[in-house]
Amino acid sequence: MDETLSLGRIAGVRIGLHWSVLVIISLVTVALAHGRFPAAHPGHSAFAYWALAVLTAVVFLVSLLAHELAHAVVARRNGVQVEGITLWMLGGAARLRDEAPSPAAEFRIAGVGPLTSLLAGAALGGIAVGLNALHTSGLVVEAVTWLAAINVLLAVFNALPAAPLDGGRLLRAYLWHRTGDRLRATRGATAAGRVLGWFMVLSGFADVLFAGDLAGLWPALIGWFLITAATAEARQAQIRGLLDGVPVGPVMTPDPVTVQATATLTDFLAEGPFGPYRHSAFPVLAADGSVVGLLTVRRVDATPAQARAHTTVHEVMRPLGEVVTATPEEPVLDLLPRLEESPTRRALVLDRGRLVGILTVADITRALAWPTTATRPGPDGPPEHRPELSKET
């Protein structure tokens, strides 16, 4: 889930908002201002209902952030790199770059989220009781009580043993500990996630069709998200299993077609789009043969046609400092997150500073799609047997 608006960093973790956060803020605000608050405490002004509803929705988002931030902090303490946190319509997502190193670490990282929400719910519940004892406005007590209840509900729901929920991570940690096989444990947790997702989808639509309750669309939406996320997680686990231990060297395209930095764009375009210039990106070499950047056809196309005759490749290329680089010995799994984040989705492979290849997401996809009887080379030894891809993938 890509962020739309960056909010800076908390404890070194980048925090962002997705545009769909506006949806959850709107839904919560309208439900409270038009429904719960007037029904429970009539007689207040519309401004009071709306102002308190907006404040309550914001505090709810803060509680979601606390939940995800707890995951991120514990993940870093267990040696897992955290890319950031993005809040979106259905809650939040802490983006972890690596897998947990052990079942115990997985258990700690997953369990701290529901625990944080449960503690927040308990604290807010205590505040609500205290405010009521002080004879604070019933409307304010109602808002704090709702926040307490929703945090407890969030903790309970996230603890369900189904991926990608936190409970699914706890289930995976348990299965991983019992079997010693992380991939098998992931399959079990994601299967549980799909089962829960389909149950929510079917029960939600049943409410709409047979009871006429449009609120059933909400669990159906969440269920569909669970199905999609669990399926994607299972696929990612399969990819990790297939690529585990595979270095960049055998997967990359060796000796890629290059272009000289001093060439004009007109000269470059005259060589394509057939023959060796059939690609969409080319490493750029200086006069001494060192690689200095990457030229993409998109950047050439963005240059006005009348300027291409006197514009050099060096002027429009993406400098080497902005390009993902790797070594032939680097594991593909370590490179994959950086590759997916890169605007060009390519990495230049360098051996002691010399260009030896280029790796794209398509190269990795092609390797994964190779017939299942193939073997995969290790970094030093003989080829290892390559696990079989299921027909579903």
CATH number of the domain encompassing residue 351: 3.10.580.10
Whether residues 335 and 191 share a domain: the answer is: no
Mean of pLDDT over the chain: 88
Inform me whether the pLDDT recorded for 371 exceeds 70. no
270 & 215 share domain: no
Task: Note whether residue 393 is domain-resident.
Answer: no
Q: Mean of the pLDDT values across residues 26-33?
A: 92
Tens-place pLDDT, residues 128-143: 999 999 999 999 999 9
Burial of 46 (0-12, 13-18, 19+ CB in 10 A): exposed
Residues 227 and 255 in one domain: no
Residue 306: give the domain boundaries: 248-385
- Pair of tokens at residue 209: 């069709």
Residue 264 φ/ψ, nearest 5 degrees: -80, 160
Residue 391 lies in a domain: no
Q: Are 204 and 218 in contact (CB under 8 A)?
A: yes
d(C-alpha 203, C-alpha 185), whole Å: 27
Structural domain total, the chain: 2
**130 and 218 within one domain:** yes
pLDDT for 313: 96
User: What does the pLDDT look like over 372-386, one tens digit per residue?
Assistant: 544 455 544 444 444
Structural domain contains residue 390: no
CA 112 to chain centre: 19
For residues 219 and 273, state if they share a domain: no
Lowest mean pLDDT among 85-94, 191-200, 201-210, 276-285: 85-94
pLDDT for 89 equals 67
Asked if residue 155 and residue 262 are part of one domain, the reply reads no
pLDDT (mean) for 172-198: 94
Indicate the residue among 219, 243, 267 that finishes a domain: 243
pLDDT (0 to 100) of residue 90 = 62
DSSP, res 383:
P
| pLDDT band, residue 362 (cuts 50/70/90) | confident
Strands in the chain per DSSP E: 5-10, 13-17, 82-88, 91-96, 253-254, 259-260, 281-285, 291-296, 318-319, 324-326, 346-351, 354-360, 375-376, 384-385
Domain boundary among 243, 269, 291: 243
Identify whether residues 236 and 266 lie together within a single domain: no
Whether 230 and 253 map to the same domain: the answer is no
Question: Omega of the bond prior to 382 within 30 degrees of 0, cis?
Answer: no
- In this prediction, residue 372 carries a pLDDT of 54
The DSSP result for 226-278, as a single string, is HHHHHHHHHHHHHHHHHHTT-BHHHHSEES---EETTSBHHHHHHT-SSGGG-
Whether residue 182 is found in the same domain as residue 283: no
The whole-number pLDDT of residue 134 equals 93
Catalytic residues: 68
pLDDT-wise least confident of 5-19, 53-67, 189-203: 5-19
DSSP state of 16: E
Question: For the residues 302-306, what does the mean pLDDT come to?
Answer: 94
How far is residue 5 from each of residues 8, 87, 110, 278, measured CA to CA in Å? 9, 10, 26, 37
Q: Report the helix count and the strand count for the chain, using DSSP H and E.
A: 14, 14
Does the pLDDT of residue 389 top 70, yes or no? no
At residue 349, does pLDDT exceed 70? yes
Helices 166-179, 103-133: crossing angle, 10 deg rounding: 150
- Cα dist. 39→33, 55, 112, 142, 167 in Å? 10, 18, 35, 11, 35
Residue 4's pLDDT is 66
Asked, for residue 74, whether it belongs to a domain, the answer is yes
- Written as one letter, the residue type at 328 is P
203 within a domain of the structure (yes/no): yes
In a domain, 367, yes or no: yes
pLDDT at 183 over 90: no
Q: Do 290 and 141 share a domain, yes or no?
A: no
The answer to whether position 20 is within a domain reads: yes
Does 33 map to a domain? yes
- Do 33 and 104 fall into the same domain? yes
What is the 3 state secondary structure string of 191-233? HHHHHHHHHHHHHHHHHHHHCCCHHHHHHHHHHHHHHHHHHHH
Please indicate, yes or no, whether residues 254 and 237 belong to a single structural domain of this protein: no
Q: What are 272-292's pLDDT values in tens digits?
A: 777 777 789 999 999 999 999
Residue after which a domain boundary falls, among 183, 209, 243: 243
Burial of 186 (0-12, 13-18, 19+ CB in 10 A): buried
Query: Does residue 340 register a pLDDT over 70?
Result: yes
Can you tell me whether residue 5 is helix, strand or coil?
strand
Give tens-digit pLDDT for 48-60.
999 999 999 999 9
Helix %, strand %, coil % of the chain (to 5): 60, 15, 25
